[in-house]
Amino acid sequence: MKKLSGDVYYPSEDILNNAIVKDWNEMDKFASENLEGFWAKEAEELEWFEKWDKVLDDTKKPFYKWFTGAKTNIAYNCLDVHLKTYRKNKVALIWEGEKGESRIFSYFALHREVSRFANVLKSLGVQKGDRVTLYMGRIPELAMGMLACARIGAVHSVVYGGFSVESLHERLEDSHSKVLIVCDGAYQRGKIIPLKAIADEALQRAASVESVLVVKRTGEPVNMEFGRDIWYHELVNLPIINSKNDIEKVDAEDPLFMLYTSGTTGKPKAILHTHGGYMVGTYSTFKYVFDINDEDRYWCAADPGWVTGHSYIVYGPLLNGATSMMYEGAPNYPFPNRWWQIIEKYGITILYTAPTAIRGLMRFGEAWPNRHDLSSLRILGSVGEPINPEAWRWYHRVIGKNNCPIMDTWWQTETGSFMITPMPCMPLKPGSGTKPFPGLKMDILDEAGNPVKDNEEGFLVIKTPWPAMMRTIYKDPDKYIEKYWSKYDGMYLTGDSAKRDEDGYYWIIGRTDDVLKVSGYRLGTAEIESALVSHPAVAEAAAIGLPHELKGNAIHTFVILKSGFEKSEKLREDLIYHVGHEVGPIAKPESVEFVDVLPKTRSGKIMRRVLKARALGEDPGNISTLEE
């Protein structure tokens, strides 16, 4: 193996001998020379009701299409196909509640529950192409609801349970959802988040929703609106609901889901993914990166409400017939050993989580993990934000006992599947996601579009299409072109800055736009600002992200009050509460500073860069466009 520069962790003999991919270079060469052939070979491992005419159709780029002419259904490949094999009796989903109760579903049982769920949706009049919003805690019914939508060709739109009234309202309205699936409440750190009550408030602002399907989780009393709200358990247990549900044979390019994500300006946008390409992309990346085999017990600790949960709790693992774990609660509740307990209890072999969680658990010291038998682990994963080398090394040494390679996977809601990622056979460098997935061509460019030199920072772009790529922004194809495909001709702009070292390894630095990663969650400064100005006391507001030891970034805000309002500690607290109530607790600002003016360009745009430089005590750079 070639000697690489810097701090390098080479794979063990054991890993090299047993991994599915033993020679990454060979695989990359094959995929690079024949991109369509590579993906066709992957697609052939899945089932199609009708085969494709074309693997990649780039006639209308950047509106790429994959596997055109094919008919399939991702839910069929996640469940039905496994019932024809020994996997029928294999565990598909292990769920553990915050209080320690567990529910375990074989592929047979999960298929049955999803089919029944699909029949419930049909009984509510949901048809192919209809949008269904899910606003739930981390419980099996969330995965079942997603798969049930897919099964009947409906489009799911999952709204993370940590979002609140206005975020939910915006997403319901934009997607024009017919049905909302919600839990009565969700447990978090022993408390109950009243999801149904939040939804009721959002529904007062949203008109399209005809039915609200309520899944009982906490048993706390909720308001049920006659004619609109119905309990899931009541409906699913009616004699008319059985477990026979004919799968909808959809086109490969039919929409599977939309997922709202924050961009630079304005409201969150709905990223649209389709059945065929997304299925092939998540299937292959999951298989190779986590080197999945039948004995594995895989746990992705993300929330299904974000893309990581979609691709790598639900779809990727089930497509591979793997055993996937879902845990309801927080990593350190009631004690900081909660996760280590789970790994030991279920014999987890692959753990996939975010740097913020690792940093948080690191803080409690080694004694907590050392109290548990973590020897079942063989591969670790990281996602969501750059992992600092210190956290990487801790994760590797204390959790992985120096035996488990760490797959630091860089990707986005938009990319659907892993983009820059190691495979277990590759030498690793703490803090780098290594190289683009086989067949992908990426680059780092300067403002003018020239590739930067090794170890210089620039804009990260993707130069080849890939199957799981987003197809468009729902209802806004122009924005899709403008946001992602117009800075550099024919290249996908990621919004991240990065460096590439002399070994061709990529190092992600962070966002180049006004997107913030707070504890790995993606938020836009615009959402926080519009929540602030929706408060009666606020005239103008600006939000920036500043480095934070645990969260990666923390939100700091600057507020100009309307005349007649006085700044006070009480008002500051009110504003923080208001952002939490409108956007969600994850968006609560760390600080609110009352100011008289905000730095703006002459055309009236807030110069957040100037605020950030001031807060960090740095030089704001070019301020020639700053208003007097």
Q: Which of residues 460-489 bind ligand PRX (CB under 6 A)?
A: none
In one-letter notation, the amino acid at residue 377 is L
**Under 8 Å between Cβ of 93 and 328:** no
Nearest Cα neighbor of 314 from 179, 171, 149, 125 is 149
| Segment contacting ligand PRX by CB under 6 A, of 193-201, 327-335, 380-388, 537-545 | 380-388
- To ligand PRX, the closest distance from the beta carbon of 549 in angstroms equals 17
Contact mark string toward ligand PRX, 54..93, x via CB under 6 A: ----------------------------------------
627, two tokens: 């208003």
The pair of three-digit structure tokens given for residue 127, joined into one six-digit string: 């048809």
Q: Are 343 and 372 in contact (CB under 8 A)?
A: yes
Instruction: Work out whether the CA dihedral 274, 277, 280, 286 comes out positive or negative.
Output: negative
Residues within window 146-205 making contact with ligand PRX, judged by CB under 6 A:
none
Nearer to ligand PRX, 383 or 469 (CB): 383
Nearer to ligand PRX, 55 or 391 (CB): 391
Min CB(385)–ligand PRX separation in Å: 5
Please, what is the minimum distance in Å from the beta carbon of residue 403 to ligand PRX?
Answer: 21
Task: Give min distance, CB of 130 to ligand PRX, in A.
Answer: 25
> Contact with ligand PRX (CB under 6 A): which of 323, 413, 530, 557?
413
CB-CB neighbours of 256 under 10 Å = 28
CA 3/CA 464 separation, integer angstroms: 29
CB-wise, 140 or 263, nearer to ligand PRX?
Answer: 263
Residue 545, strand partner residues: 555
The site that binds ligand PRX (CB under 6 A) totals a number of residues, namely 23
Instruction: Please report, as residue ranges, which positions from 420 to 459 form the binding site for ligand PRX (by CB under 6 A).
Output: 433
- Nearer of residues 48 and 260 to ligand PRX, judged by Cβ: 260
Phi-psi domain of 522 (left: phi exceeds 0; alpha: psi -120 through 50; beta: other): beta
Of 368, 411, 466, 474, the one binding ligand PRX (CB under 6 A) is 411
Among 196, 471, 500, 511, binds ligand PRX (CB under 6 A): 511
Site residues for ligand PRX, window 288-327 (CB under 6 A)?
A: 306-308
Of the pair 245, 353, the CB lying nearest ligand PRX is at: 353
Compute the C-alpha angle 540/545/551, nearest 5°: 135
Q: How far apart are CA 359 and CA 284, in angstroms?
A: 29
The least CB distance from residue 306 to ligand PRX, in Å, is 6
Binding test (CB under 6 A) with ligand PRX, winner from 185, 384, 438, 545: 384
Binding mask 515-554 for ligand PRX (x = CB under 6 A): --x----x--------------------------------
- Applying CB under 6 A, the span of 6-14, 242-250, 404-412, 558-566 interacting with ligand PRX comes to 404-412
Q: Among positive and negative, which fits the CA dihedral 35, 40, 46, 52?
A: positive
User: Which CB sits closer to ligand PRX, 117 or 459?
Assistant: 459
- CA-angle at 543, arms to 201 and 479, nearest 5°: 75
- Segment lying near ligand PRX (by CB under 6 A), choices 32-40, 328-336, 407-415, 604-612: 407-415
Smallest gap from Cβ 419 to ligand PRX, in A, equals: 9
- Shortest distance, CB of residue 438 to ligand PRX, whole angstroms? 18
Minimum gap (Å) between residue 300 Cβ and ligand PRX: 11
Of residues 352, 410, 437, 474, which one binds ligand PRX by CB under 6 A?
410
Helices (H), 11-164: 13-18, 24-33, 35-43, 74-75, 81-83, 107-123, 140-152
Q: Which of 60, 43, 464 is nearest to 252 (CA)?
A: 43
Q: From the CB of 261, what's the least distance to ligand PRX, in Å?
A: 5
Q: How far is the CB of 224 from ligand PRX (least distance, A)?
A: 34
CB of 400 to ligand PRX, least distance (A): 17
- Choosing from 245, 285, 412, 530, the residue that interacts with ligand PRX (CB under 6 A) is 412
CA–CA dist 539, 562 (Å, integer): 5
With contact defined as beta carbons under 8 Å apart, do 191 and 166 qualify? no
Q: How far is the CB of 508 from ligand PRX (least distance, A)?
A: 4
Helix then strand then coil, % of the chain, to nearest 5: 30, 25, 45
Could you tell me the CA-to-CA distances from 225 to 97, 229, 443, 563 in Å, in that order? 28, 5, 53, 41
> How far apart are the C-alpha atoms of 504 and 435, rounded to whole Å?
7
Shortest reach from residue 411's CB to ligand PRX, in Å: 4
Closest CA to 135 of 96, 173, 184: 184
Closer to ligand PRX at the Cβ: 232 or 484? 484
Q: Which of residues 580-619 bind ligand PRX (CB under 6 A)?
A: none
Binding status of residue 557 toward ligand PRX by CB under 6 A = no
Among 28, 96, 253, 496, binds ligand PRX (CB under 6 A): 496
CB of 387 to ligand PRX, least distance (A): 7
Give the angle 261-267-269 at the CA atoms, nearest 5°: 40
- Complex with ligand PRX: residue 327 or 411, whichever CB lies closer: 411
Report the site for ligand PRX in 237-266 (rule: CB under 6 A).
261
- DSSP conformation class of 9: B
What's the first-to-final CA gap in the chain, in angstroms? Answer: 59
Cβ of residue 257: shortest distance to ligand PRX, in angstroms?
A: 14
- Tell me the DSSP string of 442-491: EEEE-TTSPBPPTT--EEEEE-S--TTS--EETT-HHHHHHHHSTTTTT-
The dihedrals phi and psi of 105, each to the nearest 5 degrees, come to -120, 130
529, 535, 538, 544: CA torsion to nearest 10: -20
Name the 3-class secondary structure at 524.
strand
Task: State which residue, 200 or 303, has the beta carbon closest to ligand PRX.
Answer: 303
Q: Which residues bind ligand PRX (CB under 6 A)?
A: 261, 306-308, 382-386, 408-413, 433, 494-496, 508, 511, 517, 522
